Amino acid sequence: MLNKISGHEVDRRLLLKGAAAGGLGIAGATMLAGCASDSGPVTFGVRTVDESPMAQAQAIVDAYTAKTGIEVTANFTESNAFQNNLSQYLQGTPDDAFQWMAGYRMQFFADQGLLVDISDVWDEIGDQFSDSYKIASTGSDGNQYFLPQSWYPWGLHFRKSMMAEIGLNPEDIYNWDDMMAALEELKGQGLIGLASADKGGWEAMGTFDILNARINGYQFHVDLLAGREKWTDDKVKEVFRHWEMLLPYMNTNVLDLEWDGAMQLLLQRQAGLFMNGSWFGANFLEQSQEDYDDLWIVPFPEINPDHGRDTIDAPLDGIAVAANGSNDAGAKEFVKFAASIEGVEAQLSTGIPLTSANNLQDTSAYDPFQKQQLAVMGEAKYITQFLDRDTRPDFAGPVVGPSFQEWFRDPSSVDSILESMQSQWDALPPL
């Protein structure tokens, strides 16, 4: 909560604390490494300061220490700050193991030699994960550098009780016309149809991803993000034409809200639908069990029947080993434990719902909301990570984020915005 009040102050302070603790941890680790074997203490960089995920990370650490007697220090950093500092962090004295994301974002750092090849860990526990997860954990050299821990789908979230009062059944929102009718109905009730945020510059990327995938299909979306298709293509303009149709149903202060502000709109029953990743279920649960039980998700509706509802953004979060850490062997053992079913069970012991990436997790024990997430995921044939995980980092952050914000300010300037995005892509240095 403190984090929400004064976000960045906490970032900075925690960052310093984390850095200090990390430094001390590493100094301690090196000192001990002299006398003990490679099973010395391990430091673990956790990229969150939110209550629930902190508790889950701590649970893994405690379970590992209880099992092996090896001391693990978890250093918590607010996720934006962690992300912004990652490259410096990995080149300096990083924690031995750290939380990160799959896909392009992981490959980039693996290519730079900043991550430890953990293919041998995959040889041991790889059978606990599906093949698509292995692909998402593989670097461009064919080795694995990442172990997935959890995932969440992006979809339309709503409160069952609100919809029941209004007499809407969001499960029936199958295509674009259904969606527009539902939004109109919500607006008629004096509600915001679709809660939206883009102050952080990334929140709206999820809406772009799904519109592009629904209208132009998975392949076009992937090709666009890889630079094989052009932003100036009429197909992309079509995406923005649809997006513009949603604007009248959104809150007017999109650029003044971060994701948790838009979530508040849903939590406080001011908005009917919320397009976001399901991770915020934990925030609803922190609020109350009733709020959590009231939460539901459906896939974003079909727009182009050729593509149906075949694609979904379902980012994979997990753990990696830093090459500049001081205890690679110890860190490998730790990440193996953390991603394995033992780590999953440790997290489940906190009572916080977890959709883990581990095949051995008993999904029959999922609560109804989690089962629905699984169903939404199951309907999709293609899985994408998220725009800022699927394209070059020097494009996603500095170019796409501000461009989408500019579009929110003036939707009529879409042509010049897209032209500018394309010319900025063309000006990127060769990789």
Partner 1 sequence: MSVETAAPRGEQVARRRRFFTRQDKITLGFFIGIPTFLHVALVWFPAIATIGLSFTYWTGIKIEDITWAGLANYENIFFNTPIFWDAVRNNTIWILWFFFIATPLGVLLAYQIDREIRGHKLYQSAYFLPVVLSLAVTGIIWNFLLRPDGFVNGLLGLPISEAISFFGDERYNIWVIMIMASWRHIGYIMLLYLAGLKAVDGALREAATIDGATEWQTFRKVVFPAMKPVNIIVIVITIIESLRAFDMVYIIYGSSGGLPILGVLVFNNIAGEGASMKGAAYAVILFLLSIVPIITYLQQQFKDDVR
Residue closer to partner 1, measured from CB, 72 or 322: 322
In this structure, the number of other CB atoms found within 10 A of the CB of residue 431 comes to: 7
In the chain, % helix, strand, coil (3-state, to 5) comes to 60, 15, 30
Give, rounded to a whole angstrom, the gap between the first and last alpha carbons of the chain: 40
CA atoms of 206 and 300, how far apart (whole Å):
11
- Nearer residue to partner 1 within complex by CB, 30 or 253: 253
Minimum distance, C-beta of residue 68 to partner 1, in the bound complex (Å): 33
Task: For the CB of residue 321, give the shortest distance to partner 1 in the complex, in Å.
Answer: 17
Whole-number minimum distance, CB 391 to partner 1, in Å? Answer: 10
Given the structure tokens 């209208």, which residue do they identify?
215
Rounded distance, CA 317 to CA 148, Å? 6
For residues 317 and 57, is the Cβ–Cβ distance under 8 A?
A: no
Least Å distance, CB 401 to partner 1, is 5
Give CA–CA dist 346/349, Å, rounded.
5
Residue 291 or 310: the one with the smaller Cβ distance to partner 1 is: 291
Residues at the interface with partner 1 (CB under 8 A): 5-9, 12, 80, 83-88, 91, 105, 108, 112-114, 192, 199-202, 251-257, 261, 264-265, 268, 270-271, 392-398, 401-403, 405-406, 409, 416, 420, 423-424, 427-430
Residue 103 CB, nearest approach to partner 1 (Å): 12
CA distances from 107 to 60, 113, 150, 201, 274 (A): 25, 10, 18, 23, 31
- Choose between 59 and 254: whose C-beta lies nearer to partner 1: 254
State in angstroms the smallest separation of the CB of 102 from partner 1: 14
For residues 78 and 342, which CB has a smaller minimum distance to partner 1 in the complex? 78
Alpha-carbon dihedral sign for residues 99, 101, 104, 107: positive
Select 262 or 380, whichever has its Cβ closest to partner 1.
Answer: 262
